[in-house]
Structure 1
Amino acid sequence: MSLLSSFAEALASGSLEVVDLTAPLSSTTPVIQLPPPFAQTARFELEELSRYDDRGPAWYWNNFRTGEHTGTHFDAPNHWVTGRDGDDVASVPVRRLVGPAAVLDFSDRVAQDPDFLLEVEHVREWEAAHGPLPEGGWLLYRTGWDTRAFSQEDFLNADESGPHTPGISPGCARWLAEEAPVIGLGVETVGTDAGAAHSFDPPFPCHAALMGSGKYGLTQLQNLDRLPPTGALLVAAPLPIVSGSGSPARVLALVERG
């Protein structure tokens, strides 16, 4: 039996499960909020064109408007100034849209401290238990934050000092960008950086380091609790927007079930 035939059989039998890691995209999807005077991203909007009526008697369709970085989305290298000469989202090689995933679960730490930051030592501890991060794969950072995704207020978790959401330390961001074998970072929060990352040195270190190294980001993932620490295969499918800095994406994981 060929490799693809075996793959198809595993899908049909259920021994290979497809887990959707994508948050539903609607007008209530949380969006990042930047302080003035910075420009703000658009919420998702549908504009009905026809719905089986005199505008189109046999069909239903819509226009939509949204920001590139709304909902579950893919960050391309040119999204950040450090990667300004890098690939736009349409230029990302398709072979890099499929790869193995390592799931690092620190939801217990985040439950105690919403500002929890992942450090290199935490990754090393995980590697001691599960093996090295996958070459050409993704580090998926589970924090439990997806349970807040149905409320803009709870998701951003902001007070007078700014948002309080988990993320990556500046040192760990540099390590992921420069030394780790992964091609990208996936998170459950509104962006790859912590809520307090505006005050880090440098500011927004995940964006600065990863985009500057030609690596990628995935945000607002869900259902990471359904994935094993190792062994899942990630499929990230952004729209190939020419000159785009990113795109809403459908993100799937393939998981073997016994």
Structure 2
Amino acid sequence: MSDVITSAVHLAAVAEKLASGAIEVVDLTAPLHAGTPILTLPESMGQTARFELEEISRFDDRGPAWYWNNFRTGEHTGTHFDAPNHWISGKDLDDVSQVPAQRLVGPAVVIDRTAEVAADPTYLLDVGDLHDWQDEHGPLPEGGWLLYRTGWSRYADDPAAYANLGENGPRTPGLTPAAARYLAEETGILGMGVETVGTDAGAAMGFEPPFPCHSFLLGAGKYGLTQLRGLDRLPVTGAVLIAAPLPIVSGSGSPCRVLALVTPDEH
């Protein structure tokens, strides 16, 4: 009973700090609208839908006292959550509605490669980068998130710049296959979050295996978060991440509100 009382006191203290601003809530979510960038695949493949609002009524004869809309979009539009069953390597694992709520909240750490990406938009995070980070900051968090800060969200309101198409396809940063395998097989993280349209690099269709972040991480029962913003407002370590996808039955993912809890002196 004493443990329960102690836990309740700790939760009450957190609530008080949230109310007073001693714990800050940082919104890492991109606004969702018709201009939100989407992943475009080769024309021969199926395509996700852009976000659309359809007005039902707005204080008029269709509904005099209320405003509401229907919406249409893809599961993987805007800031969104990738469930394991999104990829063939995880096809028999959890759909987004089956992800335990306990796994939607966890510690988060940030690895920053904004300078490298500014010099080379196709920069790939490698195993050596992950080892170097851990040598300085300690191991990646068990049951937590690795957030990969590249600065790419500065292009998020310009779909052409965000895609950064070149002669051979999108030129955006990501991970090497070796780094993706390392995170999937050698760490206890819940998943990885990025600022780009998907967790993989723009050139990842040509990697071995193709789209290694999807293949390795989702195949290992881990998760992806994409199109994050505001990672510059987070400390390297010490944040708590809350990812809140819709529990779509049989869904492979969902647009998601992603929040981070930080103390003001941490960032």
TM-score (norm 1): 0.99
Q: How is 1:136-215 mapped onto 2 (pairs within 5 angstroms)?
A: 136-215=143-222
Deviation at 1:45, TM superposition (A): 0.3
CA RMSD of aligned residues (A): 0.8
Deviation at 1:217, TM superposition (A): 0.2
2:10 aligned residue: 3
1:217 aligned residue: 224
In 2, the alpha carbon distance for the partners of 1:160 and 1:169 equals: 21
In 2, the alpha carbon distance for the partners of 1:237 and 1:183 equals: 14
In 2, the alpha carbon distance for the partners of 1:172 and 1:160 equals: 26
2:79 aligned residue: 72
Deviation at 1:127, TM superposition (A): 1.1
Deviation at 1:92, TM superposition (A): 0.2
Deviation at 1:165, TM superposition (A): 0.3
In 2, the alpha carbon distance for the partners of 1:211 and 1:53 equals: 46
Q: How is 1:74-113 mapped onto 2 (pairs within 5 angstroms)?
A: 74-113=81-120
In 1, the alpha carbon distance for the partners of 2:186 and 2:70 equals: 43
Residue identity opposite 1:56 in structure 2: G
In 1, the alpha carbon distance for the partners of 2:164 and 2:54 equals: 30
Question: Structure 2 residue aligned with 1:232, among 218, 227, 239?
Answer: 239
In 2, the alpha carbon distance for the partners of 1:13 and 1:51 equals: 36
Question: Structure 1 residue aligned with 2:137, among 127, 130, 141?
Answer: 130
In 1, the alpha carbon distance for the partners of 2:69 and 2:18 equals: 32
In 1, the alpha carbon distance for the partners of 2:214 and 2:11 equals: 36
In 2, the alpha carbon distance for the partners of 1:148 and 1:257 equals: 26
* Secondary structure in structure 2 of the residue aligned to 1:242: coil
Residue identity opposite 1:205 in structure 2: P
1:47 aligned residue: 54
Deviation at 1:132, TM superposition (A): 1.1
Runs of 4+ residues over 4 Å off in structure 1: none
In 2, the alpha carbon distance for the partners of 1:79 and 1:237 equals: 17
Any unmatched runs of 5+ in structure 1?
none
Cα deviation 1:24-65 (Å, max 9, x = unaligned)? 000000000101200110000000000000000000000000
In 2, the alpha carbon distance for the partners of 1:133 and 1:173 equals: 14
TM-score (norm 2): 0.96
Question: Structure 2 residue aligned with 1:30, among 30, 37, 49?
Answer: 37
In 2, the alpha carbon distance for the partners of 1:248 and 1:106 equals: 26
Aligned residues: 258
In 1, the alpha carbon distance for the partners of 2:58 and 2:264 equals: 41
Cα deviation 1:238-258 (Å, max 9, x = unaligned)? 000000000000000000124
1:121 aligned residue: 128
In 2, the alpha carbon distance for the partners of 1:210 and 1:171 equals: 12
Residue identity opposite 1:19 in structure 2: V
In 2, the alpha carbon distance for the partners of 1:55 and 1:98 equals: 40
Residue identity opposite 1:179 in structure 2: E
Deviation at 1:160, TM superposition (A): 2.1
Any unmatched runs of 5+ in structure 2?
1-7
Cα deviation 1:145-198 (Å, max 9, x = unaligned)? 000000110111012210000000000000000111211000000000000001
Cα deviation 1:106-136 (Å, max 9, x = unaligned)? 0110000000000111011111111111111
